Amino acid sequence: MLRKIRIALAVLFFSAVTLLFLDFTGTATEWFGWTAKIQFLPSLLAANFAVVAGLVLLTLLFGRIYCSVICPLGVLQDVFSHAAGRRKRNRFAYAPAMTLVRAGFLAAFIALAALGLLSVASLVAPYSAYGRIASNFLAPVWALGNNALAALSEAAGGYAFYPAEIWFKGAGVFLAAAATLAVVGVLAWKGGRTYCNTVCPVGTVLGFFAKYSLFKPVIDASKCNSCSLCSRNCKSKCIDYKNHSIDYSRCVACFDCVGVCRKSAISYSPAFAKKAAAKRAEAERAARPEGARAEFSAAKKEPPAVFRKGRRGFFSTLFMLAGGAAADAAETMKVDGGLAPIRARRRPERAFKISPPGSGGIANIADKCTACQLCVSACPSRVLVPSRSLSGFMQPEMTYENGYCRIECVECSKVCPAGAILPISPEEKASTQIGRAVWTASRCIVNADGMQCDNCFRQCPTGAIQMVAKDPKDPKSLKIPTVDVARCIGCGACENLCPARPVAAICVEGNPSHNRI
């Protein structure tokens, strides 16, 4: 029963967190946004000490329930491990803890974070690692399915669904997600929770507290017949059945051992029950006739499940379609009015990155962002993208090739669980200067082509751009833009809608620290 309850809760949490990265309507955030904000590392970075204390207390009471229920990467490992278990059952064996390896990864994580390289350290952080996997591999499949339903709905004369863009977020973050998925998948397929108990810094920290948890799996040696079923089904490889002991720092409270024991020798009980069970076992051994041996019943080895090629083929085809659709969407040439092709827009070189409203500036992003990609997935204008630079790799920055930052939109500030982007209202956003527009005369079509253009002036939502005569002595001369920096908020409407190619004639230069205007 405990195992079934754990699986049901894990499915609910896993589905809720995954929907945050898949949903493009903003609905999932309203319902399930809290599941991201109770993740351990984001809560710690956001200084949400109530959540951190709650998770530590949960661990002190029930063991590493967080790792088996709340953490999405932990549940993903269980999915891989379960799939491998269908081919070969009873496949695990007790292994000593790799304490030095765990301590080394934790020390490296803390050192990198202290040196301002949190984006590098977060490559092994569980929540952000899963976020990159979900946004790069699951989101395209979700969008592809939605687009198929939209096509069917339109053919039937309905509009219950609308097409969504299948967005390739960048080679760097895609490769990082692919590498993480490969490492986690292989380790889980071969060794269950190996990643959790060697690499994951959160698992190491919670493992320390789990050693002192009130409730934990307890082996009653008086009932145990040393069949080793518990050890061979323990994905954490932490049950030493020969000595009737469990390494609770590695136990993730999955309750698989409780469910598989045929003698009811393992129970999820208060810690003091372990001492009582040990006393009973000692008393029985003393009363047992000399030379008597415990009954040993070897578990029958079940044949491996038949691997269903049809199912594998289905999912392989599905991922190929998603990847192909994403590639097609990335390579599709934009056209003007559906007729004349437009030259591709190239991202301008900026002295400082543009950080989203609510972040306060580049420093806060660097200090607190775990590069989970949740804000990138939530941005409806595709303005937030993973950074390609080594400093702040995969952390969000703003660029305006795909759209601009609308004043009324504050979606990224709603979803950030780590405090890298704080909640901000549209009114506050309208008075926050994240950057300022800079006009380059040589690229402007007024100078380059001798044609009048006032697109930036017409699109500026704050009235920061005015048109003045190119020749002050000739009022009838072509007009060029001038920027009132005091009114510009850096929304990027001018840059996005500038017709100059390949680089816009008017571009936003980021403010290292945001200003109020």
pLDDT of residue 400: 96
* pLDDT exceeds 70 at position 340: no
Rounded percentage of the chain residues whose pLDDT exceeds 70: 86
Same domain, 352 and 321: no
* pLDDT exceeds 80 at position 131: yes
Q: Among 23-37, 90-104, 321-335, which is the least confidently predicted range?
A: 321-335
What CA–CA distance (Å, rounded) separates 305 from 303? 6
pLDDT of residue 298: 44
H/E segment holding residue 324:
helix 309-331
Which CATH number goes with the domain that contains 372?
Answer: 3.30.70.20
Q: Is residue 102 part of a domain?
A: yes
For residue 384, the enclosing domain spans 333-516
Report pTM.
0.84
Q: How many CA atoms lie within 13 A of 19 on its CB side?
A: 17
pLDDT of residue 104: 97
pLDDT band at 313 (very low <50, low <70, confident <90, very high): low
Q: Which pairs with CB-CB distance under 8 Å and at least 24 residues apart come from 293-297?
A: 294/224, 294/225, 294/226, 295/225, 296/225, 296/226, 296/227, 297/225, 297/227, 297/262
| Eight-state DSSP code of residue 479 | E
Across the chain, mean pLDDT equals 88
pLDDT of residue 24: 85
Same domain, 341 and 319: no
Average the pLDDT over 220-240 and give the result. 94
Residue 176 pairs in a beta bridge with none
Q: Is residue 298 part of a domain?
A: no
Q: Are 383 and 400 in contact (CB under 8 A)?
A: yes
pLDDT of residue 159: 81
pLDDT of residue 419: 96
* pLDDT exceeds 90 at position 100: yes
Q: Is residue 122 part of a domain?
A: yes
Write down how long the chain is.
517
SS3 assignment, position 336: strand
Q: Are 55 and 43 in contact (CB under 8 A)?
A: yes
Same domain, 400 and 281: no
Q: How many CA atoms lie within 13 A of 407 on its CB side?
A: 14
Same domain, 347 and 258: no
How many domains does the structure of the chain reveal?
2
| Six token digits for residue 121 | 């350290």
Query: How would you class 290 by CB atoms within 10 Å of its CB: exposed for 0-12, middle for 13-18, buried for 19 or more?
Result: exposed
What CA–CA distance (Å, rounded) separates 129 from 177? 7
Which pLDDT tens digit goes with each residue over 233-256?
A: 999 999 999 999 999 999 999 999
H/E segment holding residue 215:
strand 215-219
Same domain, 433 and 493: yes
pLDDT of residue 284: 61
Same domain, 104 and 225: yes
Higher-pLDDT residue of 271, 111: 111
Which pLDDT tens digit goes with each residue over 296-308?
A: 444 444 444 434 4
Identify the domain boundary among 279, 300, 332: 332
User: Any idea of the CA torsion for 334, 324, 384, 483, to the nearest 10 degrees?
Assistant: -10
pLDDT of residue 285: 60
Same domain, 280 and 359: no
pLDDT band at 368 (very low <50, low <70, confident <90, very high): very high
Rounded percentage of the chain residues whose pLDDT exceeds 90: 76
Same domain, 357 and 327: no
Same domain, 321 and 341: no
Q: Is residue 42 part of a domain?
A: yes
pLDDT of residue 345: 81
Which pLDDT tens digit goes with each residue over 169-213?
A: 889 999 999 999 999 999 999 999 999 999 999 999 999 999 999
Residue 398 pairs in a beta bridge with 384
pLDDT of residue 292: 47
Q: Is residue 81 part of a domain?
A: yes
Same domain, 337 and 462: yes
Q: Is residue 300 part of a domain?
A: no
SS3 assignment, position 181: helix
Which residue type is seen at 394?
M
Q: Among 5-9, 320-324, 411-415, which is the least confidently predicted range?
A: 320-324
pLDDT of residue 246: 96
Q: Is residue 511 part of a domain?
A: yes
Q: Is residue 472 part of a domain?
A: yes
Average the pLDDT over 321-334 and give the result. 47
What CA–CA distance (Å, rounded) separates 105 from 88? 30
Same domain, 353 and 269: no
Identify the domain boundary among 273, 301, 332: 332
What CA–CA distance (Å, rounded) separates 224 from 217? 14
Identify the domain boundary among 302, 332, 362: 332
Which pLDDT tens digit goes with each residue over 49-97?
A: 999 999 999 999 999 999 999 999 999 999 999 999 988 889 999 999 9
* pLDDT exceeds 50 at position 330: no
Same domain, 412 and 393: yes
